[in-house]
Chains A and B, each alone.
Chain A
Amino acid sequence: MDAWLRPTSLADALAALAAAPRVILAGGTDLYPSHGTSSLPGSILDISALPGLRRIETHADHWRIPCLATWSDVIGAELPASFDGLRAAARQIGGVQVQNAATVIGNVCNASPAADGIPNLLALDATVELASLAGTRHLALADFVLGNRRTARRPDELAVALRIPRPAGPARGVFEKLGARRYLVISITMVAAVAEYDAAGRVRRARIAVGACGPRAVRLPGLEAALEGRQPEADLVTPHLAPLAPIDDVRASAEYRLRATAELLRRALDALGTPRARAA
């Protein structure tokens, strides 16, 4: 019979990963569906009993989302307006049932091109904290998610937390998701953006990311740069779409995705440009 481990300390979990590669199970919401109706095969490391890794932590210069924090925890946490986009995504990932079980880190580690969490976390400038017996390393999220279902996690590592730096000034996030029904819908395309403002309400820095338009979510550095020092305006979008590489699939054609993404970007910038957003 394949091994099932359910460690109750991080040290035990890391020791188990150091000993042999194992499939890591947290909420199970991606893992079980990937195996049809059958049970999970292989050696499983169930991390759900690890202590102290559930509550979202607020620190002086960053927030920490540990590996057992669920989407419901994000919805329930006291987080500032820069998390508005991530919060909006949390409410749209599966139904309440999935939000109660699925972890934020699981969404990142599953590395689906259509993951709703990843563009938001890119826009929040998240880094991934990877622990192993060899020590801890931090990778920028863009360096962690390598492609469709591929990450930079070594087999002996556990992604223990996401770390999100505190912005210098007022900031706000938005998330624009396009799907073909109201609930339980995989995004046709999506846009996440976080803007930090100066005292005059101009954008000091913006991070804008697009999901479901390529093998992994990407940022739009050209558009981000164009926004700096300005009021966000929808007109800025068009010249900066080059990093997007959407494909045709059952949900939409590449051409439609591109056009819709441009529209979502305009809406995101409009939202970031409203006085309410700047006041946040």
Chain B
Amino acid sequence: MTAIGFVLNGREVVATAPPRRRLAAVLRDEFGLTGTKIGCDAGDCGACTVLLDGAPVCACLTALGQVEGRAVATVEGLAASALAPLQRAFLRHGAAQCGICTPGMLMAAMALLARTPQPDEAAIADALGGVLCRCTGYRAIIAAVADAAATLPEEPPSGAAVGARVARRDGVEKVTGRERFGADALPAGPFLTLRAIRSPYPHARFTIGDLAPLFAAHPALVRVLTAADVPGSLCYGIYATGKDQPVLAEGQVRHRGEPVCALVGPAEALAAIAEAEVPITWDILPPVGFDDATATQPLHAHAPENILCRGRVRAGDPDAAPPAGAVRAGIAIETSFVEHAYIEPEAGYARRVGDRIEIVACTQTPYMDRDAIAGILGITPEQVRIVPTAVGGGFGGKLDLSVQPLIAVAAWLTGRPVRMVYSRSESMASTTKRHPARIRAEAVAGADGRLFSVRFHGDFNTGAYASWGPTVANRVPVHAAGPYAVPNVLCTSAAIHTTDPPAGAFRGFGVPQAAIAHEALMDALADRLGLDALEFRLRNALRPGSRTPTGQVLGADAALGACLEALRPRWRAWRDEAAAFNAARHRPVLRGVGIGCMWYGIGNTSLSNPSAMAIGLARTGRIVLFSGAVDIGQGSNTVLAQIAADALGAPLGQIDLVTGDTDRTRDAGKTSASRQTFVSGNAALRAALALRAEILRRANAGPAARIAFLPGALQVSDGGRTSTLALESLPADAEGMVLRGEGYFDPPTTPLDQDGQGIPYASFAFAAQIAEVAVDTALGTVTVRRIAAAHEVGRAINPTLVEGQIHGGIAQGLGLALMEEYVPGRTENLHDYLIPTIGDVPPIEVMLIEEADALGPFGAKGVGEPALVATAPAILNAIAAATGARITRVPATPERVLAAILAARDEGRA
């Protein structure tokens, strides 16, 4: 251990750590500067960017010994007194969503701005190209860096919060590095670390040998956990019928990366243990692949033929003979595993407090975690406290348990706090993915240009365990005919077990895969009918009064038509421009414009998914929203506060938030299915209205009264009469609240019958997007040049946040279309698994269509998943428009695109 002196954010410091230690670890562990994030420890993500003598470097690749005598600047140094202009710009433009990439982005941008105060977009992209962001789609970041003199957005006056572009409530924490993510939260005092030993094989039986030599060689090792140590139920899962995933494998592993035992001890002791020292004997079994799973020995007793479940929607007569002059199109589509690739690997700690367990970790669903951990430990849910940290990106991936079961068992059994931080490769190998799909679909349209029938079947590789597989199987058939009025429909699905990693929840739950198929069919039918692809969709669009394939009649907010009409001018102009470009023969590059449409049911499919919210008034006159909804970067903390403020008639700045903690909030349900704005927004609205009613009752005032929130008192004015309500004298509850309002909302749905008939969702979102691509027809590379996105959002509570969701969804849709393909064992890092960089996401024009939802809070509905669904279809249709080549396997890698172009040439299509 040497003493290494350097200058850290302008102060001379001395680190006493081995010189070989990574600077990122030293900054975090020795100096407590957790603003420097670790997303990969491999130079692939840039989250750890710091300035070394003014130049950006990856702190994860910098040896402590190399910074001796040099100057290191971290995000914590940016805002010594007030926010730096760039930090303000990030807040104004919504450039920080989850915020995990923000410190790296800020530091890389600071170095650029020091050199080039007014950089153009190319310079910004070059400077930030080494930092990955999974949330924002980068466009807001580019805007912020180009506008580094920005001021903070103004706080709206009382009653005008809804619709205002206010900065996110948790934004200052995110741009200063103060936000605490899973790996930033540490137990007070000493703690143990947990290291999982994972299967290197997709399918094997194993035995664990005598552990005595391991303990003898490593006396500091505290405990080795195996399946036998789990005190309650070994297996957990999302659905009551799908509790099939073991905390630790019991004699058999079903996917690569499955944990088989867990080492618990001090971090240094664990690091000294070589994997080979853990005595595991493997008996390798043949893997069960997607191709042959249904013909293989079942992996689970509950899934004969390895079929976890099926979904089905049938309407009209799908076998009816088509009318004379009808045209028909068919397609077969194959998609890949897609990794969430949030920049924050899963992390957290657990500690036992008497007969209770407390878990501080990143999660999208604290209340489901609470109940699951109770089952695993064999205790009651009340004995479990979940305290969510900030979430550095979720997208569905943090709806499943990750570190929680292991650290809970370890802390429960040892009585000591236990912490676990996934490495990037561990996160990628062991956590859920988007389901690979194999889809066959066929559609028929009459000579009048109206859809007559759609048939669709999708097989979804749900991997080793059930996870959210049933959700996908149920949601897909409802949506698979697309956002169109189709009288005759048969849409079916199956979720199939394999020895691949469990496929779970990922933004869209199978609908993005299905949309690739139905949008390819729409283009093919329009082409055969000689109709414009947009006008054909418009003619068939679901509209107010339309009946969906499940028999649901849509309300006035079914505004796909308005989305298409909004896009029409761009559609025509872009197509003309692409045609002119192609006519000018810039071979081998060809341009094309494509369109994609989508619809998406908000909330759970035909299942109750309530949210409860509480709002309190403190003696100080401050208002506290107790929200069990986790903000995973999408902005629910801000949106719910905006809704509550206007419902209450309070200034937004008056509202404080308590979020997530299951001891202090109500169950708001999971952050998933685009439901928090719609469902929890309604609960927050109702809670705020209840509090308002209580205030007005006490003031004996009418419903139109105005409330002024003063320190320690309320002033209620009703007409000419003003009364003052002193708060000091009122009795306060355990949380310090003197008045409370409670709100509850469960979207009204009905079960689906065996033909899938019923009301699966209380609200649908609609969208259409167009994309222009340039295809290099000699190499097969595709560049997306621009995207226009028209989204029907009911009401944009915060347009900046809505646009942020759309940008981020588009970036993920672009990745799905062009580059993302997770291959177990081959792409377990962020340089072999590619997500879009700042140079891959084109300019995006967002058009918000606000057609108030009858049930939504202030008319709002969800946008989180709808943002992603239409993008890949638009891009793939654009490739086809440019080249005549139809891509049927995504991602459309250069190799696949070139092969499709060559095949189309052979067939004379191009």
B-binding residues in A (CB < 8 A):
1, 4, 6, 25, 27-29, 32-33, 36-40, 44, 46, 48, 72, 91, 94-98, 100-101, 178, 180-186, 188, 250-253, 256, 259-260, 263-264
Q: Is the C-beta of B43 less than 8 angstroms from some C-beta in chain A?
A: yes
Q: Report yes or no: A180 in contact with B894, Cβ–Cβ below 8 A.
A: yes
Given known pairs A98-B58, A250-B823, the reply for A39 and B22 (CB within 8 Å) is yes
Output the nearest chain B residue to A264 by Cβ-Cβ distance: B779
A28 touches B46 (CB 8 A): no
**Pairwise interchain contact A97-B839, C-beta atoms closer than 8 A:** no
With A32-B41, A180-B894, A181-B839: A91-B126 Cβ-Cβ less than 8 Å? yes
**Interface membership of B14, Cβ < 8 A:** no
Q: Are A184 and B19 in contact (CB under 8 A)?
A: no
Chain A positions within 8 Å of B129 at CB level: 95-96, 182-184
Given contacts A36-B425, A184-B837, A185-B837, 15 further A-B contacts (CB under 8 A): A4-B20, A28-B62, A28-B63, A32-B60, A32-B61, A36-B41, A39-B20, A44-B20, A72-B55, A96-B108, A96-B111, A180-B781, A180-B819, A250-B821, A264-B779
- Is B49 located at the chain interface by the 8 A CB criterion? yes
* A259 contact set on B, CB distance < 8 A: 898
Cβ B778 vs Cβ A184 within 8 A: no
Is the pair A97, B46 in contact by a Cβ cutoff of 8 Å? yes
Which A residue's beta carbon lies closest to that of B104? A97
Are B898 and A256 touching (Cβ within 8 A)? yes
Q: Which of B2, B108, B423, B827 contacts A97 (CB 8 A)?
A: B108
B window 33-48: CB within 8 A of A: 41-44, 46
For B836, what are the chain A residues with a Cβ–Cβ distance below 8 Å? 181
Whole-angstrom distance between the Cβ of A133 and the nearest chain B Cβ: 24
- Which residue of the partner chain, among A183, A188, A251, contacts B839 with CB atoms under 8 Å? A183
Give A33's nearest chain B residue, CB to CB. Answer: B42
By a CB distance below 8 angstroms, the chain B residues around A6 are 19, 65, 68
Contacts A38-B271, A97-B56, A256-B895 hold; do A4 and B819 have CB atoms under 8 A apart?
no
- Minimum CB distance partner of A178 in chain B: B779
- Please name 11 pairs of A and B residues whose Cβ atoms are closer than 8 Å in the assembled complex, sorted by A: A28-B61, A32-B61, A38-B271, A39-B22, A100-B57, A101-B58, A180-B781, A184-B837, A186-B832, A251-B832, A260-B894
On whether the beta carbons of A96 and B127 are closer than 8 Å, the reply is yes
CA distance A24 to B840 in the complex (A): 35
Assess the A250–B781 pair: CB atoms within 8 A: no
Check: B834 CB closer than 8 A to any chain A CB. yes
CB-CB contacts below 8 Å: B416-444 with A: 423-425
A253 x B831 contact (CB < 8 A): no
CA distance A72 to B127 in the complex (A): 12
On whether the beta carbons of A39 and B894 are closer than 8 Å, the reply is: no
Q: How far is the CA of A101 from the CA of B111 in the complex (A)?
A: 15
A188/B61 contact (C-beta < 8 A), A4-B20, A29-B43, A96-B127 known: no
CB-based contact A27/B894 at 8 Å: no
Q: Which residues of B contact A27 (CB under 8 A)?
A: 61
Contact A37/B49 with A184-B130, A252-B893 known, Cβ cut-off 8 Å: no
| A98 closest partner in B (C-beta) | B43
Q: Which 9 A-B pairs have the closest CB atoms?
A: A95-B130, A182-B839, A183-B129, A33-B42, A183-B837, A256-B895, A37-B423, A37-B41, A97-B58
Instruction: Check B683 for interface membership: any CB of A closer than 8 A.
Output: no
Measured CB to CB, the closest approach of chain B to A182, in angstroms, equals: 3
User: In the complex, A251→B894 CA distance in Å?
Assistant: 9
Can you list, as one digit per residue, whether each of B836-852 has a CB less than 8 Å from chain A (1) or not (0)? 11111000000000000
Closest CB in chain A relative to B635 CB, distance in Å: 27
Interface assignment of B11: CB less than 8 Å from any CB of chain A = no
Q: Which residues of A lie under 8 Å from residue B834 when comparing CB positions?
A: 180-181, 185
Distance (whole angstroms) from the CB of B42 to the closest CB of chain A:
4
Quick one: CB contact mask for B589-623 with A, threshold 8 Å, 1 for yes? Answer: 00000000000000000000000000000000000
A96 touches B894 (CB 8 A): no
Question: Cα distance A256–B18 when bound, in Å?
Answer: 46
Given known pairs A46-B66, A96-B108, A178-B779, the reply for A1 and B18 (CB within 8 Å) is yes
Tell me whether A4 and B818 are in contact (CB under 8 A). no
Task: Map CB proximity to A onto B53-89 as digits: 1 under 8 Å, 0 otherwise.
Answer: 0011110111101101000000000000000000000
Pick the most buried of B821, B834, B899: most chain A CB atoms within 10 A of its CB: B834
Contact of A100 among B55, B823, B827 (CB under 8 A): B55
Within the complex, the shortest CB–CB distance from B336 to chain A, in Å, comes to: 11
A221 to B650, CA, bound (A): 77
Contact B63 A25 (CB under 8 A): yes
A233 to B132: give the CA distance in the assembly, Å: 39
In the bound complex, CA of A252 to CA of B893 (Å): 9
How long is the Cα–Cα vector from A184 to B835 in the complex, in angstroms? 10
The one of A33, A37, A181, A251 that contacts B43, using a Cβ cutoff of 8 Å: A33
- A4 in contact with B61 (CB, 8 Å): no
Given the interface pairs A4-B20, A39-B21, A95-B130, the reply to whether A29 lies near B61 with Cβ below 8 Å is: yes
A101 pairs with B61, CB closer than 8 A: yes
* B42 cross-chain contacts in A, Cβ below 8 A: 32-33
Given contacts A36-B425, A252-B894, contact A96 B61 (CB under 8 A): no
Q: Are A28 and B56 in contact (CB under 8 A)?
A: no
Instruction: Determine the chain B residues whose CB is within 8 A of the CB of A100 once the complex forms.
Output: 52, 55-57
Name A188's closest neighbour in chain B (CB-CB). Answer: B894
Q: Which residues of B contact A33 (CB under 8 A)?
A: 41-44, 61
Contacts of B125 in A (CB 8 A): 182-183
Complex CA gap A120/B367 in Å reads 56
A-chain residues with CB within 8 Å of residue B778 when the two chains form the complex: 263
B137 vs chain A, min Cβ distance (A): 14
B872 at the interface (CB under 8 A from A): no
Among B49, B61, B68, the one with the most A-chain Cβ atoms within 10 Å of its Cβ is B61
Q: CA separation between A37 and B839, bound complex, in Å?
A: 28
**How many whole Å from A12's CB to the nearest CB in chain B?**
15
Interface check B131, CB cutoff 8 A: yes
For A33, A40, A95, the residue with the greatest tally of chain B CB atoms inside 10 Å of its CB is A95
Report the bound CA distance from A44 to B65 in whole Å.
11
| Chain A proximity of B165: nearest CB distance (Å) | 29
A-side contacts of B779, CB under 8 Å: 178, 260, 263-264
Give A5 Cβ to nearest chain B Cβ, in Å: 10
Q: How far, in whole Å, are A27 and B132 apart by their CA atoms in the complex?
A: 21
B668 CB to nearest A CB, Å: 34
Q: Would you give the shortest CB distance from B478 to chain A, in whole angstroms?
A: 34
Cβ-based interface call for B586 (8 A): no
Selected contact of A94 from candidates B130, B424, B821, CB within 8 Å: B130
Q: How far is the CB of B136 from chain A (nearest CB, A)?
A: 16
What B residues does A186 contact at CB under 8 A? Answer: 831-832
> When the two chains form the complex, which single residue of A91, A95, A256 contacts B131, counting CB atoms closer than 8 Å?
A95
Report the separation of the CA atoms of residues A170 and B823 in the bound assembly, to the nearest whole angstrom.
Answer: 47
Q: A48 vs B61: C-alpha distance in the bound complex, in angstroms?
A: 14
Q: Which residues from B are CB-within-8-Å of A184?
A: 44, 129-130, 132, 831, 837
Chain A residue numbers with a CB within 8 Å of B61 are 27-29, 32-33, 97-98, 101
Contacts of A253 in B (CB 8 A): 895
A178 nearest CB across to chain B (Å): 6
In the assembled complex, the Cα of A91 lies from the Cα of B126 at a distance in Å of: 8
Q: Which of chain B's residues has its CB closest to A259's CB?
A: B898
State the Cβ distance, A102 to closest chain B Cβ, in Å: 9
- B826 in the interface (beta carbon within 8 A): yes
- Bound Cα distance A25, B279 (Å): 34
CA distance A94 to B779 in the complex (A): 22
CA distance A100 to B62 in the complex (A): 11
Please name the residue on chain A nearest to B899 by beta carbon: A256
Interface residues of B in 293-349 (CB under 8 A from A): none
- What B residues does A28 contact at CB under 8 A? 61-63, 66
CA distance A39 to B21 in the complex (A): 6
Q: Which residues of B contact A260 (CB under 8 A)?
A: 779-780, 894, 898
Q: How far is the CB of B654 from chain A (nearest CB, A)?
A: 42
Chain B, Cβ-Cβ closest to A101:
B57
- The answer to whether residues A32 and B43 also contact, given A4-B65, A39-B18 and a CB cut-off of 8 A, is yes
Write out the residue numbers on chain A whose beta carbons fall within 8 Å of the beta carbon of B55: 72, 100
Contact B20 A96 (CB under 8 A): no
